[in-house]
Amino acid sequence: MKKILICLFSFLLFCDVKAQNTEPIHASMNKVRLDFMVDADGRPAYKVFFGDRPVINNSYLGIKLKDDSAFNKHFVLAGSEKTTVDEYWTPVWGEVSKIRNHYQQLTVHLKQQDASKRLLDIVFKVFEDGVGFRYEFPKQPNLKYFIVSDELTEFSLTGDNKTFWIPGDYDSNEYPYTISPISQVDASVLAKSATDIGVRYVPDKYGIQTPLMMKTADGLYINIHEAALQNYTSMQLHADVKTFKLTANLVADAAGNKAYMRAPCHTPWRTIIVSDKAADILASKLILNLNEPSKIENTSWIKPMKFVGVWWEMQTGKSTWNYSNNLDTLGADGKLIPNGKHGGTTANVKRYIDFAAKNGIQGVLVEGWNTGWEEWFGSWNEFIFDFVTPYPDFDIKEITQYAASKGVKMIMHNETSGSATGYERQMDTAFRFMNKYGYTSVKTGYVGKIIPRGEHHDGQWMIDHYIRVAKKAAQYHVMLDSHEPVRPTGLQRTYPNWMACEAGRGNEYNAFGSGNNPNHETIMPFTRLMGGPMDYTPGIFKIKGYTADPERQVKTTLCKQLALYITMYSPVQMAADIPDNYEKHLDAFQFIHDVAVDWDDTKIIEAEPGEYITTARKEKGTDNWFIGAIANENGRNANIPMDFLNKGKKYVATIYADADDADWKKNPEAYKITKFLINAGTKLHIKLANGGGAAISIKPVTNEDKGLKFYK
């Protein structure tokens, strides 16, 4: 049941206005204020304030059309309306079970003062924690089909903000973050050096990706991104390193165009989240609120879950995705010669199923189960994978039966190698195959240059492709976890079977790349995760000493890996390490066993991007809480008040903390587990090692907890 309050105080001026607007029109919600104006040249512009402090200085708005460069000026204001909405809605799954949607909306109607009389509306929604706006193209005689050749949206920053950025790459979000003032942005260096990223294309030296997290000199936290990216291309930003003005930088298609539109239509929302508290940025629901409600009516089959997978062993060189080393050299029997290191074998998969069944993990992912992996990467070949042909040592019937007998769900893996056309051609076949063998979720992958050739991972065609996959998956009641797609923009509200995406630098880079810096996970929730859940694949217990490269290591402590299950929100969470490594630390694995993946409530207790995050979440439908606290390379003492617990009730807290001498580099696997009684008045003091973290599970006290001491 929704509580809806709509206040309508609109004023309409649907006549031709000759004079330009000089007085700004305001919309506001609590401390956030939006000013809109049209300048003497008929150029629309806006400003954003947080209290008295400017957030975005005067910034122009507009779209450049391919057949008409002047769709950003010669406008007059032909009218405007204001509305206020206050309502609550219930997500299918999420960080909280109820979301408030409270905003004031300002719609401005613009009309061009020339023969075309073209119309453009701009809609602003002002929330307590920021502003969203989008361009709307009404039905009109002189604008129907059009091609967007550029978007001229500006975000004029008030100073040389501290910025957490990755390059504006059309194909990848998998970069490490740089923390620098805007004035020091240079995407070209990283674009060249990041050779651990398979496909990179960074056309603009000053191009940076959204969600872009910033902090002003006077302590305002600002996040710029977009919401509800559909039927359009994705927006990156061009940074003017001298004036600190950011400009929309749309990802181009194979023909050099940005977006293909037919009026009536609109762009995605451009979002500016702002607060003087970093924690408010993480808690913001602005992006979700700007997305459409679920288009899936029956959502009963959509279920958050934890899973293990035949995957990390390939990442670390213990086994391979491919069955053979060479497709061209066959054995005497005319068949492929197995390389003896194939990971996705029936026997090996059964070990993962056994482990999952024994340890409360619902799902098992298997990569490298299907033919094609011998030549899957780098060939720009459209026809690598068919999604239905297992390798000879992967007995899908036997595995299906075995998993079912153990109560474990198998998770499908559809790597496309970037061949989206190939996938679309076979998608129905692939999903029918999943239905046949009882797979209820699929991890997709797009590692490689995109086909249609010349398209990019983040361009309009691919954006629509990912959504087509989500819709098709929903038809077959399959949950989706997309790897290497465009970064999310809150569409999980609209397509709630689209559980998670990668679209960021995951834990895997600690296995095969230059790794993730110890501050990486303190930045990601402020950047990549603002748009939606990430399949970050936490839970690595064996931090050092992998086959592929003994020098390489995960740049966290073991306990920080546990904390990530809370600080890196996702409704699907992998326990990414191999069973052997978990079995050596089953006491620590208990946290992964216990931790929930769907929540009634979330409290961002403390947070500072690049430094630390402490988050507490209440499991959906229980009185259990789970806390994750992480630090950057400098460690810290976390003081965590338990004031979110029910007053007058006793709980048991199990604390998984770094050992006193733990250190991400020198001693990453050292931890200690302690158990105490606590209540709402308790304040936990936990030392987080350099690059460390802590995980806490909190449950109402039971008879079994009798001997426990109260925390002091």
Of 73 and 449, the one with the shorter C-beta distance to a second copy is 449
3-class secondary structure, 644: coil
Pull the structure tokens for residue 492: 């999980």
Cβ burial of 704 (10 Å; 0-12, 13-18, 19+) is exposed
Q: How many residues bind a second copy (CB under 8 A)?
A: 26
Phi, psi of 288 (to 5 degrees): -60, -40
Candidates 257-265, 269-277, 356-364, 552-560: pick the segment binding a second copy (CB under 8 A): 257-265
Q: What are phi and psi of 355, to 5 degrees?
A: -60, -45
Residue 254 CB, nearest distance to a second copy (Å)? 3
At 424, phi and psi to the nearest 5? Answer: -60, -35
Q: Which two tokens stand for residue 628?
A: 């994750």
CB of 45 closer than 8 Å to CB of 39: yes
Residue among 260, 321, 541, 656 that touches a second copy (CB under 8 A): 260
Alpha-carbon gap, residue 121 to 137, rounded angstroms: 6
How many Å apart are CA 594 and CA 677, to the nearest integer? 18
Contact present, 412 and 424 (Cβ < 8 Å): no
Cβ closest to a second copy, residue 358 vs residue 453: 453
Q: Which is nearer to a second copy, 172 or 421 (CB)?
A: 421
Length of the chain: 712
Tokens of 120: 């453009």
Q: How far apart are the C-alpha atoms of 469 and 632, rounded to whole Å?
A: 37
Q: What is the nearest approach in angstroms of a second copy to the Cβ of residue 640?
A: 52
- Return the closest-CA partner of residue 485 out of 199, 77, 259: 199
Provide Rg for the chain, Cα atoms: 26
Question: Left (φ > 0), alpha (ψ -120 to 50) or beta: where does 708 sit?
Answer: beta
Out of 313, 508, 521, 606, the active site residue is: 508
Two structure tokens written together for 527: 């950047």
Which of 150, 455, 508, 521 binds a second copy (CB under 8 A)? It is 455
Helical (H) or strand (E) element with 262: strand 259-262
* Cα 153 to Cα 161: distance, rounded to the nearest angstrom: 19
**Minimal distance, residue 327 CB to a second copy, in Å:** 9
Dist. CA 516–CA 514, nearest whole Å: 7
Q: Using CB under 8 A, pick the residue from 31, 341, 425, 585 that binds a second copy.
A: 425
* Window contacting a second copy (CB under 8 A); options: 192-200, 217-225, 420-428, 491-499: 420-428
Of 100-108, 421-429, 434-442, 587-595, which segment contacts a second copy by CB under 8 A?
421-429
Shortest Cβ distance from residue 156 to a second copy (Å)?
A: 33
Binders of a second copy in range 116-155 (CB under 8 A): 139, 144-145, 147
Q: Are strands 259-262 and 235-239 parallel, antiparallel or unpaired?
A: unpaired
- Binding a second copy (rule: CB under 8 A), the pick from 421, 516, 519, 602 is 421
Residue 144 C-beta: closest distance to a second copy, Å = 8
Q: How far is the CB of 139 from a second copy (least distance, A)?
A: 6
For a second copy, the closer of residues 120 and 143 by Cβ is: 143
Q: Which is nearer to a second copy, 432 or 584 (CB)?
A: 432
Interacting positions 456-475 with a second copy (CB under 8 A): 461
3-class secondary-structure state, position 173 = coil
Residue 337 makes contact with a second copy by CB under 8 A: no
Q: Rule CB under 8 A: is residue 174 a binding residue for a second copy?
A: no
Quote the tokens at residue 385: 């994978």
Q: Is 380 in the site for a second copy (CB under 8 A)?
A: yes
Which range of residues in 56-64, 154-162, 164-172, 448-456 is near a second copy by CB under 8 A?
Answer: 448-456
Member of 293, 340, 378, 621 binding a second copy (CB under 8 A): 378
661 token code pair: 């001498």
Distance between CA atoms of residues 398 and 678, nearest Å: 48
Rule CB under 8 A: say whether 20 interacts with a second copy: no
Alpha helices, DSSP H only, in 549-585?
Answer: 558-567, 579-583
Q: Considering the rule CB under 8 A, would residue 379 count as an interface residue with a second copy?
A: yes
Q: How far is CA 350 from the centre of its chain?
A: 31
Angle between helices 586-594 and 558-567 (to 10 degrees): 0
Considering the complex, state which of residue 98 and residue 139 has its C-beta at the smaller distance from a second copy.
Answer: 139
Compute the least distance from the CB of residue 84 to a second copy, in Å.
31
Query: Shortest gap between Cβ of 415 and a second copy (angstroms)?
Result: 17
Given candidates 12, 217, 254, 548, which one binds a second copy under the rule CB under 8 A? 254
Which of 137, 104, 103 shows the shortest CA–CA distance to 122?
Answer: 137
By the rule CB under 8 A, 24 interacts with a second copy: no
Q: Which is nearer to a second copy, 24 or 203 (CB)?
A: 203
Choose, by CB under 8 A, the member of 35, 121, 129, 253 that binds a second copy.
253
Inter-residue long-range contacts of 185-189, CB under 8 Å, 24+ positions, other chains counted = 185/239, 185/241
Nearer to a second copy, 219 or 378 (CB): 378
Verify binding: residue 328, a second copy, rule CB under 8 A.
yes
- Binding-site member from 6, 7, 255, 548 for a second copy (CB under 8 A): 255
| 430 or 638: CB nearest a second copy | 430
Shortest Å distance, C-beta 449 to a second copy: 8
Provide, rounded to whole angstroms, the least separation between the CB of residue 534 and a second copy.
29
**Pick from 454, 512, 680, 700: which binds a second copy (CB under 8 A)?**
454
73 and 41 in contact (C-beta within 8 Å)?
yes
Stretch that binds a second copy, among 14-22, 44-52, 99-107, 450-458 (CB under 8 A): 450-458
3-state helix vs strand vs coil in the chain, percent to 5: 20, 35, 45
Determine the interface stretch with a second copy among 341-349, 418-426, 499-507, 585-593 (rule: CB under 8 A).
418-426
Binding-site string for a second copy from residue 536 to residue 575, where x marks contact by CB under 8 A and - marks none: ----------------------------------------
Is the Cβ of residue 22 or residue 329 nearer to a second copy in the bound state? 329
* Chain centre to alpha carbon of residue 621: 25
Distance, in Å, from the CA atom of 702 to the CA atom of 522, rounded to the nearest integer, reads 35
The nearer residue to a second copy, 231 or 339, going by C-beta atoms, is: 231
Sign of CA dihedral 505, 508, 511, 512: negative
Parallel, antiparallel or unpaired: strands 441-445 and 409-415:
parallel
Q: Is 262 in the site for a second copy (CB under 8 A)?
A: yes
Q: Does the active-site annotation cover 508?
A: yes
Dist. CA 527–CA 523, nearest whole Å = 6
Q: Which amino acid is at 402?
A: Y
Q: From the CB of 498, what's the least distance to a second copy, in Å?
A: 19
- The contact pattern for a second copy, residues 272-311, with x = CB under 8 A and - = no contact, is ----------------------------------------
Quick one: which of 381, 389, 400, 514 contacts a second copy (CB under 8 A)? Answer: 381
Judged by CB under 8 A, the stretch of 4-12, 249-257, 282-290, 697-705 that binds a second copy is 249-257
> Cα–Cα distance between 344 and 369 in angstroms, integer?
5
Residue 321 tokens read as 């995705």
Strands 265-266 and 269-275: what pairing?
unpaired
Q: How far is the CB of 253 from a second copy (least distance, A)?
A: 6
Question: Among residues 375, 393, 623, 633, which is the contact residue for a second copy, using CB under 8 A?
Answer: 375
Q: Distance (Å, rounded) from C-alpha 695 to C-alpha 628?
A: 5
Supply the residues annotated as catalytic.
Answer: 508
Query: Where on the chain is the footprint of a second copy (CB under 8 A)?
Result: 139, 144-145, 147, 253-255, 257, 260, 262, 328, 375, 378-382, 421, 424-425, 428, 452-455, 461
